[in-house]
Structure 1
Amino acid sequence: MNKAAAMLLGAATWMGVAQAQELPAPAPAPAPVSDAAKAQEERIRKLEEEVQALKAQGATKPEPVQLGGAGGAAAKALNPDISLNGDFLGAMGRNEVRPVPGLEMHEAELGIQSVIDPYSRGDVFLSFSDGGVSVEEAFVTLTALPGEFVAKIGKMRADFGKVNTTHNHALAWTDRPLVTENLMGGEDGIDDMGISVSRILPAPGDLFLEATGQVFRGESEGLFKASRKNDLSYVGHLRGYEDLTENTNLELGYSYAQGHNELGHDFLTKLSGVDFSLRWKPLRRSIYNSLLWRSEFIWSRRDQLLGPQRAFGWYSSLDYRMDQRWTVGARFDWSERATASNQLDRGASALLTYWMSEFSQVRGQYRFTRYDGRQDASELRLQLIFVMGAHGAHPF
């Protein structure tokens, strides 16, 4: 090897040593992961997944529970609405034809109402009075029938006119009109075991039209009497409702009823009636001002031993709510008697009602009646009404 080659070899050797000194030392090999560490990592991963799932559920709104249109009642886990209505009466004056006690618990009505399932609801009303306890109404309403029909099965007030369907505590007066006493069998009217089927009918414009057909057992005290099992009574009702203006609406109705009377299977009593209600209530002003004018006209044809007996009667009432507390009203009565010829009763009433709240009211009614054109009765009747619990709305 010559001198130049030796010098080149030495330089190369010196540069390699220098580069080797500048390179970092290799990292040590990682230690193997133990099985216990792997299991711990897997548990942490699963916990993180569960936390994310819970957060996602909390962000999603739960679906509202609905039970056949029960609305807020669904949250009560099917507990029924229970209410108690009190109706206490006092009377001063003289009435020798139809006297009433000076003080009486006219009625305490216990109401139990609830949705049964998505297809039906139940209503039970028990009446407590000085005369004892009775079932005023107890029926099941089937709301999901084919063809948009609605059916009721049980004991119920017949859908005849307006007064017959109204419970005592919901009346605008302390009593019922003379036409109810003379032609409809008294305070209970047509109230019997039966089946009712109704349907909303197609109608032009904004007209609401409803037809109802009912079949009853044929037992309504003072009006219908079933001598045989097939002596049924029948009721039909057609009503129409329409808004005339934003503040005014009109309701018209026609009713028909037929059943056997106490003289036997071959003797029928037939009733027909027309009712109208005109309501005014300004929606954009005071919420308490309102006016209701209501009238009913009833014709009776009753088979008797000497031939059919015909009678006619009507009432007309006007009620004006002045403000939150006070309501004034008047009613006129005119009615013949169903079982006697040429006997006519007439009367007039003036009323004043003080609303302590929407759940209690005090009413005074002065009533003058002339029975059969000869016997006069002049009375001042006082009434206290209160409502406890959740009581469903009455028919409008």
Structure 2
Amino acid sequence: MRTRTGRIFPGVRLTFALAAAAALVSPADSQAQSNEQHINRELEALRTEVEELRRRDEENRGLIESLSRRLEELDARTSAAAATTTVAAPTGGSGSEPMEDPDAAPDAALADLDTEQPTDGAGQAATSKIWSRSIGNTDLRLIDISMDVMFAAGGSTVDDDELGLLQGGAHDPDRNGFTLQQAELSFMGAVDPYFTGEAHIVATANEIELEEAFGTTTALPWGLQLEGGFFFTEFGRINPRHPHQWDWLDQPVVNTRMFGGEGLRSSGVRLSWLMPTSWPSELHLGIQNSGQGEFTRSFLSNEPVGGRPEFDRGVDGPADLLYLARWANGWDLSPTTTSVLGLSGLFGPNSAGEDTRTWVAGLDFLLRWRPTNSFRGWPFVSWQTELMYRAYETEMVTTAEDPDLNEDLPTETLRDWGLYTQTMWGFRHQWEAGLRIEYASGRGDSVDDGDLVTREIDPDRDDRIRLSPLLVYWPSHFSRLRLQYNYDRARHLDGDNAHTVWLGAEIFYGAHPAHSF
């Protein structure tokens, strides 16, 4: 405060100075405290990860020690066998050294390794990590077991019946209230130096099913790899991946329409070739059964597309199988930016006629940016887009051939297409935000209660638009929380649109395999 002479009292001047200093220091202290809290969280996360790595390191040490002891035993047996062979082996007519087969001892050791394993009293392997059991001349080994549980809760402006039609994926949250999306038990391991195997068993609230079970070669030459068993078809980016590998809580609408709620999977074989190019380039060629019920939606399914009558068809020859071709290429556009471009195609019979076929084509693209100084993967930005087109042939059916029809159905090719485009932004450590936009449409009429009707009343073929913002938080690498909002606009809905909110929780325990890029 100034006096009438314009001077400031010393005490007042000191008070102002202290207040100004406090105002300047307070924001800095607040920022320092915030930084300290962030550093403490990162340190705690690192400590947890270090402890987990130490635990796994101890398991690996025990495994190495056990295998080393086993190797010493085999070396001793091999030496003894070689000595016995040397004494008993016949000599050449000119007094030459005993004729030993130099490969005999290693082969015998390998044969012994394949038929015997050190076990405890219960037949369990002596190692802490690998389970093995001998059955006849075959040794079963298991390296990794894991469990993934996905659970969601939410509500919508539409009832459960309409919500179930909007959420067509078998692992989508599909009802007001709570949904157990899946509990997936996975087994993965090395069979021997030439094969690996894995199996995935999925349980929901209503059923337990085998999702995948297949073996993969590891020692073929020329960049080749062969996979055989029951597996997801390598089409696009979403279909080959399990639900816990998706960014969003539900699968895209176009995937549900093309491949059904369970995704396209069947028994067969697939050959992959990592081509000798200067950039990563891989070609996939596959053959699978086309008649796997709900797992082969666009092909020999028990529910033909568009409500058409079902023709009972089997596999009478190579023309009745499902054929896949996929070509994927990756490029590093810069030290921080990578991209992947994929082309996919499917061809096979369908159940809407005695000689009808289906073609499905797809294009997918991924662009990902991550700075060189990122911390544990954050920050990042990714953009992913996938387009699909299907041509589905149908056969003429008359009312005389099918009494359930009210009118004759003409020969027609139903054409359906759709896309999704999504972007994810890892804006800070453990936090992500995303936005997905979808569109699906088609051409050709559907059948409802024996009548030929416009596809706009068919929930599997009408015009669909979906907008889905997403917020993700990772408490650790083994748990995830997601908040998702869906705005759906669909012609088959009574009000043409629906608003839905989902909160999803996921926990993952056991060995965590690397995800495909």
TM-score (norm 2): 0.60
Report the CA distance shift for 1:254/1:379 in structure 2 as closer, same or farther (over 3 A): same
From 375, 383, 386, the counterpart of 1:296? 386
1:255-304 CA distance string (max 9 Å, x none): 00122222244111110000000001112243311111000010110001
The residue aligned with 2:162 is 97
Mapped partners of 1:325, 1:149: distance in 2:
37
The residue aligned with 2:468 is 349
SS in 2 for 1:189: coil
The residue aligned with 2:508 is 387
The residue aligned with 1:234 is 323
Match for 1:389: what amino acid?
G
8 Å Cα contact 1:183-1:337 kept in structure 2: no
- Report which of the two has the higher share of helix: 2
Report the CA distance shift for 1:265/1:146 in structure 2 as closer, same or farther (over 3 A): farther
* 1:373 Cα deviation from its structure 2 partner: 7.7
The residue aligned with 2:398 is none
Mapped partners of 1:84, 1:181: distance in 2:
25
Mapped partners of 2:257, 2:499: distance in 1:
19
8 Å Cα contact 2:266-2:296 kept in structure 1: no
From 111, 127, 132, the counterpart of 2:186? 111
Larger RCO: 1 or 2 (CA < 8 Å, sep 6+):
1
Is residue 2:276 matched to residue 1:202?
A: yes
Mapped partners of 2:443, 2:483: distance in 1:
30
How do residues 283-362 of structure 1 correspond to structure 2 at under 5 angstroms? 283-287=372-376, 288-305=378-395, 306-337=411-442, 340=446, 341=455, 343-362=462-481
* 1:131 Cα deviation from its structure 2 partner: 2.5
Is residue 2:234 matched to residue 1:191?
A: no
Mapped partners of 2:503, 2:358: distance in 1:
35
TM-score (norm 1): 0.77
Match for 1:85: what amino acid?
D
Mapped partners of 1:94, 1:193: distance in 2:
40
Moved more, 221-230 or 375-384: 221-230
The residue aligned with 1:57 is none
1:181-208 CA distance string (max 9 Å, x none): 222223x2211111010011122x3x11
Q: How many equivalent residue pairs?
A: 325
Is residue 2:286 matched to residue 1:214?
A: yes
Mapped partners of 1:221, 1:274: distance in 2:
20
Mapped partners of 2:443, 2:508: distance in 1:
36
> Identity rate of aligned residues, in percent?
28
* 1:372 Cα deviation from its structure 2 partner: 2.4
- Report which of the two has the higher share of strand: 1
The residue aligned with 1:150 is 225
8 Å Cα contact 2:414-2:442 kept in structure 1: no
8 Å Cα contact 1:161-1:273 kept in structure 2: yes
Match for 1:80: what amino acid?
I
Mapped partners of 2:433, 2:232: distance in 1:
28
1:36-75 CA distance string (max 9 Å, x none): xxxxxxxxxxxxxxxxxxxxxxxxxx89x9x9xxxxxx99
SS in 1 for 2:432: strand
8 Å Cα contact 2:353-2:394 kept in structure 1: no
The residue aligned with 1:367 is 486
Choose 1 or 2 for highest CA Rg: 1
8 Å Cα contact 1:361-1:384 kept in structure 2: yes
Mapped partners of 2:211, 2:143: distance in 1:
18
Match for 2:239: what amino acid?
N
SS in 2 for 1:97: helix
SS in 2 for 1:174: coil
Mapped partners of 1:196, 1:233: distance in 2:
11
* 1:338 Cα deviation from its structure 2 partner: 7.6
8 Å Cα contact 1:300-1:338 kept in structure 2: no
Report the CA distance shift for 1:279/1:364 in structure 2 as closer, same or farther (over 3 A): same
* 1:309 Cα deviation from its structure 2 partner: 1.1
8 Å Cα contact 1:89-1:106 kept in structure 2: yes
SS in 2 for 1:296: strand
1:304-362 CA distance string (max 9 Å, x none): 13211112100000001112221100000001158744631111000001111110011
SS in 2 for 1:322: strand
Match for 2:272: what amino acid?
S
The residue aligned with 1:41 is none
Q: CA RMSD in A?
A: 2.3
SS in 1 for 2:162: coil
From 160, 163, 180, the counterpart of 2:238? 163
8 Å Cα contact 1:156-1:191 kept in structure 2: yes
Match for 2:352: what amino acid?
L
8 Å Cα contact 2:188-2:198 kept in structure 1: yes
Report the CA distance shift for 1:373/1:346 in structure 2 as closer, same or farther (over 3 A): farther
